[in-house]
Structure 1
Amino acid sequence: MSHPLQVLLVRQQTTDESLRLARLLAYSDAGPTVMPVVGQLFRSVITSRPCYNTPIDNVVVVHRAAPRPDGEPVTLASLADTDMVLVGLYGTARGDGDNRGTFSARPTAGRTEAETNEAVRLALAAIKAEMPSHLDPETSFIMYAGCPTPILDYIIKEMPLLWGDHFYDMYSSDKAPTQFGVHMGSSWVDEQTGETFFVDRIRVSDIDYMLAEKTVDYDFDYLEFITQTYPFTELNCMIRAFPKGVDPPTASHEQGEPASWVSTHQDFSIALLATRDKFRRRKLAAKCVEVVSRLQLEFMRKHGLDVFGPNILSFGFVKDGNVASIRTMEGCGFIKVKEPRFMWIGIKLASIPSVE
Structure 2
Amino acid sequence: MAAALKVLLVRNPTTAETLRLARVLAHAGRGPMAMTVIGQLMRSTLSVKRTYPSDVDHLIVVHRAAPRPDGEPVTLATLADADMVLVGLFGSEVGDNPEGTFSARPTAGRTEAEVNEAVRLALAAIKAEMPSHLDPEKSFIMFHCCPTPIMDYIIKEMPLLWDDHLYEMYASDKAPTQFGVHMGSSWVDEQTGETFFVDRIRVSDIDYMLAEKTVDYEFDYLEFITQTYPFTELNCMIRAFPKGVDPATASHEQGEPAAWATSHQDFSIGLLATRDKFRRRKLAAKCVEVVSHLQIEFMRTHFPTVFDDGAMPLHSFGMVKHGNDASVRTMESCGFRKVEGHHFQWIGIKLSSI
Report the TM-score when normalising by structure 2: 0.96
Aligned AA for 2:334?
A: C
Alignment of 1:170-189 (within 5 A): 170-189=169-188
Partner of 2:5: 5
Partner of 2:30: 30
Per the TM alignment, residue 45 of structure 1 is displaced from its structure 2 partner at its CA by 2.0
Alignment of 1:232-251 (within 5 A): 232-251=231-250
Partner of 1:94: 94
Question: Are the counterparts in 2 of residues 60 and 89 from structure 1 also a CA contact under 8 Å?
Answer: yes
Find the residue that maps to 1:238 and give its secondary structure: strand
> How big is each residue's C-alpha offset from its partner over 1:258-305, in whole Å with a ceiling of 9 and x where there is no partner?
110000111111021011111111100001011110111111111112
Partner of 2:130: 131
Per the TM alignment, residue 339 of structure 1 is displaced from its structure 2 partner at its CA by 2.1
Per the TM alignment, residue 142 of structure 1 is displaced from its structure 2 partner at its CA by 2.7
Partner of 1:325: 327
Per the TM alignment, residue 169 of structure 1 is displaced from its structure 2 partner at its CA by 1.1
Aligned AA for 1:333?
A: G
Partner of 1:197: 196
Per the TM alignment, residue 215 of structure 1 is displaced from its structure 2 partner at its CA by 1.0
Alignment of 1:1-356 (within 5 A): 2-97=2-97, 99-309=98-308, 310=310, 311-352=313-354
Identity %: 77
Superposition misfits of 4+ residues, deviation over 6 angstroms = none
> How big is each residue's C-alpha offset from its partner over 1:150-191, in whole Å with a ceiling of 9 and x where there is no partner?
111111111111111111111111211111111111111222
User: Partners of 1:239 and 1:222 in 2: how far apart?
Assistant: 21
Per the TM alignment, residue 255 of structure 1 is displaced from its structure 2 partner at its CA by 1.2
Aligned AA for 2:105?
A: R
Aligned AA for 2:327?
A: S
Find the residue that maps to 2:182 and give its secondary structure: coil
In the comparison of the two structures, how many residue pairs are matched?
Answer: 351
Aligned AA for 2:50?
A: P
User: Partners of 2:316 and 2:93 in 1: how far apart?
Assistant: 28
User: Partners of 1:48 and 1:70 in 2: how far apart?
Assistant: 39
Question: Are the counterparts in 1 of residues 139 and 348 from structure 2 also a CA contact under 8 Å?
Answer: no
Find the residue that maps to 1:156 and give its secondary structure: helix
User: Partners of 2:70 and 2:183 in 1: how far apart?
Assistant: 57
User: Partners of 2:259 and 2:237 in 1: how far apart?
Assistant: 6
User: Partners of 1:343 and 1:332 in 2: how far apart?
Assistant: 24
Per the TM alignment, residue 346 of structure 1 is displaced from its structure 2 partner at its CA by 1.0
Find the residue that maps to 2:208 and give its secondary structure: helix
Aligned AA for 1:19?
A: L
Calculate the aligned-residue CA RMSD, in Å.
Answer: 1.3
User: Partners of 1:226 and 1:293 in 2: how far apart?
Assistant: 16
Per the TM alignment, residue 91 of structure 1 is displaced from its structure 2 partner at its CA by 0.2
Question: Are the counterparts in 1 of residues 169 and 319 from structure 2 also a CA contact under 8 Å?
Answer: yes
Question: Are the counterparts in 1 of residues 139 and 161 from structure 2 also a CA contact under 8 Å?
Answer: no
Per the TM alignment, residue 37 of structure 1 is displaced from its structure 2 partner at its CA by 0.5
Per the TM alignment, residue 208 of structure 1 is displaced from its structure 2 partner at its CA by 0.7
Aligned AA for 2:297?
A: E
User: Partners of 2:281 and 2:95 in 1: how far apart?
Assistant: 39
Aligned AA for 1:132?
A: P
Point out the more displaced range, 182-191 or 260-269.
Answer: 182-191
Aligned AA for 2:331?
A: M
User: Partners of 1:139 and 1:297 in 2: how far apart?
Assistant: 38
Per the TM alignment, residue 46 of structure 1 is displaced from its structure 2 partner at its CA by 2.8
Find the residue that maps to 2:248 and give its secondary structure: helix
Question: Are the counterparts in 2 of residues 102 and 145 from structure 1 also a CA contact under 8 Å?
Answer: no
Per the TM alignment, residue 53 of structure 1 is displaced from its structure 2 partner at its CA by 2.4
Aligned AA for 1:187?
A: S
Structure 2 unmatched runs, 5+: none
Point out the more displaced range, 114-123 or 137-146.
Answer: 137-146
Per the TM alignment, residue 139 of structure 1 is displaced from its structure 2 partner at its CA by 2.2
Point out the more displaced range, 166-175 or 255-264.
Answer: 166-175
Per the TM alignment, residue 198 of structure 1 is displaced from its structure 2 partner at its CA by 1.0
Point out the more displaced range, 15-24 or 42-51.
Answer: 42-51
User: Partners of 1:341 and 1:156 in 2: how far apart?
Assistant: 14
User: Partners of 1:140 and 1:168 in 2: how far apart?
Assistant: 20
Per the TM alignment, residue 143 of structure 1 is displaced from its structure 2 partner at its CA by 3.2
User: Partners of 2:195 and 2:124 in 1: how far apart?
Assistant: 56
Structure 1 unmatched runs, 5+: none
Find the residue that maps to 1:166 and give its secondary structure: strand
User: Partners of 1:140 and 1:341 in 2: how far apart?
Assistant: 21
Aligned AA for 2:69?
A: P
